[in-house]
Amino acid sequence: MVIVMAKGATGENIAAVSRLLEHHSLKAHISQGSETTIIGVVGDKKRLADVNLEMLPGVEKVIPIMESYKLASKAFNPQGIVVNIDGAKIGGGHFAMMAGPCAVESEEQIVSTALAVKQSGAQFLRGGAYKPRTSPYAFQGMEDEGYRLMRLAGDEAGLKVVSEIISENNIETAAKYCDMFQVGARNMQNFRLLRELGRSKMPILLKRGNSSTISEWLDAAEYIMSEGNYNVVLCERGIRTFETATRNTLDISAIAVIKEKSSLPIIIDPSHAAGKASYIESLSLAAVAGGADGLIIEVHPDPMSAMSDAAQQLNFAVFDNLSTKVKKLVTVLDKQM
Amino acid sequence: MVIVMAKGATGENIAAVSRLLEHHSLKAHISQGSETTIIGVVGDKKRLADVNLEMLPGVEKVIPIMESYKLASKAFNPQGIVVNIDGAKIGGGHFAMMAGPCAVESEEQIVSTALAVKQSGAQFLRGGAYKPRTSPYAFQGMEDEGYRLMRLAGDEAGLKVVSEIISENNIETAAKYCDMFQVGARNMQNFRLLRELGRSKMPILLKRGNSSTISEWLDAAEYIMSEGNYNVVLCERGIRTFETATRNTLDISAIAVIKEKSSLPIIIDPSHAAGKASYIESLSLAAVAGGADGLIIEVHPDPMSAMSDAAQQLNFAVFDNLSTKVKKLVTVLDKQM
Amino acid sequence: MVIVMAKGATGENIAAVSRLLEHHSLKAHISQGSETTIIGVVGDKKRLADVNLEMLPGVEKVIPIMESYKLASKAFNPQGIVVNIDGAKIGGGHFAMMAGPCAVESEEQIVSTALAVKQSGAQFLRGGAYKPRTSPYAFQGMEDEGYRLMRLAGDEAGLKVVSEIISENNIETAAKYCDMFQVGARNMQNFRLLRELGRSKMPILLKRGNSSTISEWLDAAEYIMSEGNYNVVLCERGIRTFETATRNTLDISAIAVIKEKSSLPIIIDPSHAAGKASYIESLSLAAVAGGADGLIIEVHPDPMSAMSDAAQQLNFAVFDNLSTKVKKLVTVLDKQM
Amino acid sequence: MVIVMAKGATGENIAAVSRLLEHHSLKAHISQGSETTIIGVVGDKKRLADVNLEMLPGVEKVIPIMESYKLASKAFNPQGIVVNIDGAKIGGGHFAMMAGPCAVESEEQIVSTALAVKQSGAQFLRGGAYKPRTSPYAFQGMEDEGYRLMRLAGDEAGLKVVSEIISENNIETAAKYCDMFQVGARNMQNFRLLRELGRSKMPILLKRGNSSTISEWLDAAEYIMSEGNYNVVLCERGIRTFETATRNTLDISAIAVIKEKSSLPIIIDPSHAAGKASYIESLSLAAVAGGADGLIIEVHPDPMSAMSDAAQQLNFAVFDNLSTKVKKLVTVLDKQM
């Protein structure tokens, strides 16, 4: 932490800051410049939580130096975390392909999709049982019955099951059916839910909030990890910007930033980022080459009749074609899928 | 709803769209232009929920014409809603001043603040019992004990009590102590919580998500209202933009937009928008003159020792001075405070 | 400037940074913490322009402490600059009302507008002669003939004339007709133009780029001021955000931030921010109460027939009504208009 | 164009719109719905430029259907444009690698860089002669002498020369030395400059403004093309968002969007997007796999001593390693580099 004093700060102002830091067993390193004075603070950061240095007379601003997450940082686990979901690995050279419909709609729909995406090389079946929708009048999902059908389809096809969890009250029920829980973008800062998931020890796919910084995203991962659950996979799905040609703007740089700052695996969701089927191939291949540890793609037997997000779902043939190209690229990059 | 056909769309493509619409008892009004064909869709919109017109061959895009909220719209209640909290009114010429600390920290802190802000003209005491914080290591609030102290302080000073609710599981307990629940920006799309609050009939202060459009915000209000609870007050508290001089960018235009599109009252939170005490007076007076129905301002007996958000809280003297200016302006504008 | 060393930085890394700083006659103040080392740099900042400390082994990041503008800063001119345009003052308690059409279209249009806005209390006539338009096929303005008509109308009504300048090649011609030059949002970082305007000594109305930070805006003002021209008035006209309910998001906080950081006057353009006539009154009154030094508003004899930006222009009656409310508020705030 | 009438619009309001359209020889196709009426407008769009339908009584909003660019659209040139710069092709399966320093600093610097990047496989030498800088006190480039050194270095290494042009007054001089002109992000809407470049017939590398939509970017290309110069290559270099982990957010989706909407080639600038050398490999490979027609990368003999943008420039060895990986991927994708 660095304290920058205002230009007109007096010697007494500076002395007062020093005294306060010393009072909290912290050391002040003072750099007196021609125009301004800078004070470096040394010691245990947590002691500063209750001290509001910016309010002291003569203080211009306080610049934090350290990120607030620890367990999610690269430094804590420099070799990288590989999340192992009952044999299906994500990270450390293991590339995961997750596919399935936006929402579970019927047994036939989810089973046929599971068999098709398995055939094309996917290891995970995705599908929404609970659908948080912007409008209260839109289809809200099949709820617990949706989880049950996901399990049934996953078992039939030999796929791991990943589905969204939207309430701390539903963890026990959902855990019976899912192999991995997805935390949706809108719940990335639902800290109650994150804590309970941390206690559950279930593998978590943590989507980035559409206006969350990478730093806030890692803070959210820290909520889960601080309860002892390190099985966290990050998922970038587009951020909100001024551009309207795509539903969201896929932040492809997040891959490089996460690889530098964190030990957690990161996968890409091109479907929600693009919001349009014709853009998904380009984004998927970019994600693979950019170093992502996996993809999660929306696939539906008949996108035209889908009950939500129709425009961004691929049919089986288009997905199979995409999957072939992804596998080729994964192999060129010496990873396993 | 308007369907725009692609330039190369064939007569058969257009006929197929028409047939599909007729199949759903909707009428197609076709406008054949020199470059493109446009199809206006007439009939009950809900029939279209399961039809994904964008996937049909030859369709370029589908443009929605109507907003998805109804109860929250101006058209539904053109004269405007006045929220009446046991005599304290918001909207329709009644200007509400809410003030109090970011977080409840102790009985002494909250009672002294309640007495001070009452003295300066506030009608509501604000204060956080549960504090959703970006990092798991930051102070998370006094929880239920915080609610109890809010009630105690509110009663002592003669103020209504407004505090944040962060879990659907806590509504019953919190309702014993609060007169109004605040839904925080991070929970604006926690639809489970919104529905339960809709069933509770408690007055709700619905903060705008920091990256939510006004349209999504009204959709969130619709979740509450669709369960029968019309006691909703909107609160603009700054949106996330590229500018870093302020914590968020206060979207002052939201007042004019809400007044045009919705019947709900809107108040402004300059404290979270600015993130800096010295900017709060300018933003508060702008909000009053711009037509807001109230303000919610952070006030603390000793901001320097506050356990959260210290930089943006006002002390009693600064708040009293601000309140005097606000009252003067409210009077000039022929409103009551 | 503060240099933050990476966690794994060695003693030799730190020594190398110190040596480099000393080589440039700068002093290094080293704060060795438990987790990281921070180096405060003291001395003449300009010496660092050619040294790229972030590339040195073991350096995590470099944090600049000082803003790059000097002449535009509050510190340089703490009492504030009042721009005096031949008797019409802006800043220091003098509130300026500028009004007129988006574009000059004919002598009759501009003269009638000038007479009407003068009658309603404006001191400045605005109007575009050169119109930078997004599409090459849109109306580009009457060019030099437009300037001539502005002068004629301004003289007839007794108003100062402010119009946009879009090329360094046109300054001499335009200066014959205008009292003040507007630099449009798209040209805020056209540094060639800024420098030439700095040499011209003409009063400048510097609009903020729609995605420029306040800091970049003051850097742009610095380009003009560094050539000796201090007659600069800033104009906030909305920034680009994700919200689409308004054309841009008016950054009302810019008033408070500029008043704290800079000595330059700041006026508000609600017309371009809102993009819709019905929102302009709310934004205008908010700007006055928030502390702006003036307003620039689009007014047209017959907005429906305007050749550009029709939706955001007011007719004479609406402007007159707005102007009356603005004057009342200006008086309440003890300013002159 | 579609006109949406307000809910309360009368039959007379609708008739008035119809009459106005007919007066301009346009046809009105009326779709009367249960809640609102929609009017499709058919005929030559240009006739509507002077008519402001949004101002008519009873009109809610006007929705444009067609983009304003024509020559830059896919429809105008469905097979795609290949820009041929004296034998060096961009687009249509030809992948271009452009490399060189942020700024030309000396003959030795630019010649050594040219030889090195040629050796690694580049076909173009990039380098700034005129540097538009945010602060007037930063290094502004070697100006015309910089162009001369670029030519000299390009000739010595056998590379095409691409450099930024910042003034319409400098085109003639710069054209003596450059093979292609870059229009920088800050000048993307300097329409004067765009028009003159359209008249010059020089190949243009048009960078996207950091807050420009893709639609505005293609409108800017249209300015150049409407003067008869079709040798335009688009360059995505990151857009401004709330995320601060990178200098800008690379909009990787722009590749897919441009490939769908336009016939122009698109290359990616990972250096300005990332602002950090360690992120460039990930972004470069993502761009290649995503379908970009080329890359432009900053390379400097000794990044640590660079006079601008040091943190994002690669040294020769790092660039050579990256270039090898890019070539491998380009080959896998059946393109030529």
State how far residue D334 is from chain C, nearest Cα, in angstroms.
36
pLDDT above 90 (res A174): yes
Residue of chain B minimizing CA distance to C213: B243
pLDDT above 90 (res A327): yes
Judge contact between C103 and C128, C-beta under 8 A: yes
**Cβ–Cβ gap B290/C282 under 8 Å:** yes
Q: How many CB pairs under 8 A join B and C?
A: 124
CA distance C141 to C138: 9
pLDDT above 80 (res C55): no
User: In B, what residues contact A, Cβ < 8 A?
Assistant: 46, 49-52, 54-56, 68-69, 132-139, 166-169, 186-187, 189-192, 195, 209-211, 216, 219, 222-223, 226, 240, 303-307, 310-311
pLDDT above 60 (res D45): no
Which residues fall within 8 angstroms of residue B19, CB to CB, at 6 or more apart?
none
Which residues fall within 8 angstroms of residue D180, CB to CB, at 6 or more apart?
D85, D124, D160, D161, D162, D202, D203, D204, D205, D233
pLDDT above 80 (res D7): no
Kindly list the partner chains of chain D, i.e. chains with 3 or more CB atom pairs below 8 Å. Answer: A, B, C
Residues of chain C contacting residue B253, judged by C-beta atoms under 8 Å apart:
245-246, 249-250, 273-274, 279, 282-283
State how far residue A33 is from chain C, nearest Cα, in angstroms.
5
Judge contact between C288 and C301, C-beta under 8 A: no
Instruction: Output the CA–CA distances (angstroms, integers) from residue A205 to A252, A313, D22, in the order listed.
Output: 18, 20, 57
Instruction: Output the CA–CA distances (angstroms, integers) from residue B212 to B63, B90, B208, B216, B220, in the order listed.
Output: 20, 23, 7, 6, 10
E strand or H helix that includes residue B115: helix B107-119
- Residue-wise pLDDT for D234-252, tens only, equals 999 999 999 989 999 999 9
Task: Tell me what pLDDT residue D147 has.
Answer: 97
pLDDT above 70 (res A310): no
The alpha carbon torsion through B38, B41, B47, B51 (nearest 10 deg) reads -10
Task: Tell me what pLDDT residue C253 has.
Answer: 98
Sign of CA dihedral C116, C120, C123, C124: negative
Mutate to test the interface with C, among A34, A46, A62, A65 (most CBs of C within 10 A): A65
Judge contact between C43 and C65, C-beta under 8 A: no
Task: Tell me which residue in D29, D63, D241 faces B63 most closely, judged by beta carbons.
Answer: D63
- Residue-wise pLDDT for B127-184, tens only, equals 999 988 888 888 889 999 999 999 999 999 999 999 999 999 999 999 999 999 999 9
Query: CB neighbours (10 Å) of residue D140?
Result: 17
Kindly list the partner chains of chain C, i.e. chains with 3 or more CB atom pairs below 8 Å. Answer: A, B, D
Q: What is the distance, to the nearest Å, from the Cα of residue C3 to the centroid of all Cα atoms in its chain?
A: 32
DSSP for B207-271 reads EPPTT--HHHHHHHHHHHHTTT---EEEEE--B--S--SSSSB-BTHHHHHHHHHB-S-EEE-HH
**Cβ–Cβ gap D42/B33 under 8 Å:** yes
Kindly list the partner chains of chain B, i.e. chains with 3 or more CB atom pairs below 8 Å. Answer: A, C, D
Q: What is the mean pLDDT of residues D290-317?
A: 86
Identify the weakest region by mean pLDDT among C17-26, C254-263, D48-57: D48-57
- DSSP 3-state percent helix, strand, coil across chain D (nearest 5): 40, 20, 40
For residue D12, the cross-strand partners are none
Q: What is the mean pLDDT of residues C113-132?
A: 96
Judge contact between B302 and B110, C-beta under 8 A: no
- Residue-wise pLDDT for A131-148, tens only, equals 888 888 888 899 999 999
DSSP state of D210: T
Which residues fall within 8 angstroms of residue C245, CB to CB, at 6 or more apart?
B213, B214, B215, B253, B254, B257, B261
Task: Tell me what pLDDT residue B254 has.
Answer: 98
**Cβ–Cβ gap B29/D40 under 8 Å:** yes
Which residues fall within 8 angstroms of residue D304, CB to CB, at 6 or more apart?
C52, C55, C56, D310
**What Rg, from alpha-carbon coordinates, does chain C have?**
23
Residues of chain B contacting residue D33, judged by C-beta atoms under 8 Å apart:
40, 42-43
State how far residue A73 is from chain C, nearest Cα, in angstroms.
12
Cβ burial D253-280 (10 Å sphere, 16+ → b, else e): bbbbbbbebbbbbbbbbbbbbbbbbebb
Cα–Cα nearest to B293, from B120, B83, B79: B83
Task: Tell me what pLDDT residue C331 has.
Answer: 96
**Cβ–Cβ gap D134/C219 under 8 Å:** yes
pLDDT above 90 (res D6): no
**Cβ–Cβ gap B279/C253 under 8 Å:** yes
The interface pTM score, or ipTM, of the predicted complex is 0.90
Task: Tell me what pLDDT residue C221 has.
Answer: 97
Say which residue the tokens 């929880």 belong to.
B143
Provide CATH code, domain C83-332: 3.20.20.70
Cβ burial D35-73 (10 Å sphere, 16+ → b, else e): ebbbbbbbbebeebeebbbbbbebbbebeebebbbbbbb
Cα–Cα nearest to C103, from D42, D49, B326, D34: D49
Task: Tell me what pLDDT residue D153 has.
Answer: 98
Query: CB neighbours (10 Å) of residue D333?
Result: 18
Judge contact between C136 and C128, C-beta under 8 A: no
Which residues fall within 8 angstroms of residue D151, CB to CB, at 6 or more apart?
D161, D176, D177, D178
Judge contact between D95 and D107, C-beta under 8 A: no
pLDDT category at C48 given cuts 50, 70, 90 is low
Which residues fall within 8 angstroms of residue D109, CB to CB, at 6 or more apart?
D101, D300, D301
pLDDT category at A46 given cuts 50, 70, 90 is low
> What is the average pLDDT score of chain A?
91
Q: Model pTM?
A: 0.90
Task: Tell me which residue in D4, D40, D75 faces B65 most closely, judged by beta carbons.
Answer: D4
CA distance C168 to C189: 13
State how far residue C273 is from chain B, nearest Cα, in angstroms.
9
Show the tokens assigned to B103.
């977080």
Higher-confidence residue: C65 or C163?
Answer: C163
pLDDT category at D307 given cuts 50, 70, 90 is low
**Cβ–Cβ gap C289/B291 under 8 Å:** no
Q: Which CATH number fits domain B2-63: 3.40.50.300, 3.30.70.1140, 3.30.9.90, 3.30.70.100?
A: 3.30.70.1140
E strand or H helix that includes residue A270: helix A270-274
pLDDT above 80 (res D286): yes
Give the SS3 label for residue B13: helix
Task: Tell me which residue in D211, D253, D286 faces A242 most closely, judged by beta carbons.
Answer: D211
CA distance C182 to C166: 9
Domain boundaries, chain A: 2-63, 83-332
**Cβ–Cβ gap D68/C135 under 8 Å:** yes
Residues of chain D contacting residue A252, judged by C-beta atoms under 8 Å apart:
250, 252, 282-283, 286
Residues of chain A contacting residue D273, judged by C-beta atoms under 8 Å apart:
253
State how far residue D135 is from chain B, nearest Cα, in angstroms.
18
Task: Tell me what pLDDT residue B48 has.
Answer: 62
Task: Tell me which residue in A52, A169, A210 faces B311 most closely, judged by beta carbons.
Answer: A52
CA distance C214 to A61: 17
**Cβ–Cβ gap B253/C257 under 8 Å:** no
**Cβ–Cβ gap D252/A252 under 8 Å:** yes
- Residue-wise pLDDT for C306-316, tens only, equals 666 667 789 99
* Same fold: B2-63 with B83-332: no
E strand or H helix that includes residue B45: none
**Cβ–Cβ gap A41/C35 under 8 Å:** no
Bridge-based pairing of strands D96-100 and D124-126 is: parallel
DSSP state of B80: -
Query: CB neighbours (10 Å) of residue C176?
Result: 10
Residues of chain D contacting residue C168, judged by C-beta atoms under 8 Å apart:
167, 169
Residues of chain D contacting residue C133, judged by C-beta atoms under 8 Å apart:
191
**Cβ–Cβ gap C136/D222 under 8 Å:** yes
**Cβ–Cβ gap D279/A256 under 8 Å:** yes
Cα–Cα nearest to B127, from B80, B92, B159: B159
Show the tokens assigned to A267.
């996968």
Show the tokens assigned to A218.
């890692």
Give the SS3 label for residue D325: helix
State how far residue A269 is from chain B, nearest Cα, in angstroms.
20
Q: What is the mean pLDDT of residues D197-216?
A: 96
> What is the average pLDDT score of chain C?
91
Mark the ranges of chain B whose per-residue pLDDT is less than 70. Answer: 34, 43-52, 55, 307-310
- Residue-wise pLDDT for D134-145, tens only, equals 888 888 899 999
Task: Tell me which residue in A7, A29, A41 faces C29 most closely, judged by beta carbons.
Answer: A29
DSSP for C93-108 reads TBPEEEEE-SB---HH
- Residue-wise pLDDT for D53-75, tens only, equals 776 778 887 877 777 898 999 98
Side chain identity, residue D49: A
Compute the half-sphere exposure of residue B251: CA atoms within 13 Å on the CB side of its CA. 33
